[in-house]
Amino acid sequence: MPSYLVLAAMKGRFVSNTGNTYDNFQFMGYSDGADPISAVTTFFDAPPYPIVWADVEYLWAERLADDSANGHLGDYEKIYIETLRSRWGEDSGG
Domain spans, the chain: 4-86
* Residue 63, pLDDT score: 87
For residues 59 and 29, what is the distance between their CA atoms, to the nearest angstrom?
Answer: 11
For residues 75 and 82, what is the distance between their CA atoms, to the nearest angstrom?
Answer: 18
* Residue 65, pLDDT score: 78
What's the pTM?
A: 0.79
For residues 22 and 40, what is the distance between their CA atoms, to the nearest angstrom?
Answer: 24
* Residue 85, pLDDT score: 84
Q: Mean pLDDT, 10 residues at a time, over the chain (94 residues)?
A: 89 94 94 92 95 95 77 72 80 51
Question: Residue type at 6?
Answer: V
Whether the Cβ atoms of residue 29 and residue 44 lie closer than 8 Å to each other: no
* Residues present in the chain in total: 94
Whether the Cβ atoms of residue 4 and residue 62 lie closer than 8 Å to each other: yes
* Residue 73, pLDDT score: 54
